Amino acid sequence: MHNPYPTNISPCGTYIVEIDGKFESEYGTFMRALKAGLKLRQKFPHSQVKVHDANEQTLADEQSENNTEGALN
């Protein structure tokens, strides 16, 4: 029987945290990656911190910018 699910795609998402364009860490959930990114942003306020989905290569922090701003205030 044919498997309808792709075998080369991880079943859970992987999120990458970058600081100033360099890989910092990797997390299995968006919330853990976002928390780590926020801690880095507090520790290094003049650095650019990004959280993005490793599979889709889209910036997750841009998609959730409104939610993050509300959480910080």
Closest CA to 34 of 21, 20, 14, 15: 15
pLDDT of residue 28: 93
| Predicted TM-score (pTM) above 0.85 | no
Higher pLDDT, 65 or 48: 48
**Cα(29)–Cα(51) distance, rounded to whole angstroms?**
11
Contacts of 21 (CB under 8 A, 6+ apart): 48
Per-residue pLDDT at 54: 85
Tell me how far apart the alpha carbons of residues 56 and 17 are, in angstroms, rounded to a whole number: 14
Query: Please, which pLDDT band fits residue 58 given cuts at 50, 70 and 90?
Result: very low
| Over residues 5-34, mean pLDDT | 79
Q: SS3 for 65?
A: helix
Average pLDDT over residues 34-38: 95
pLDDT of 2: 52
Give the other-Cβ count within 10 Å of 34's Cβ: 20
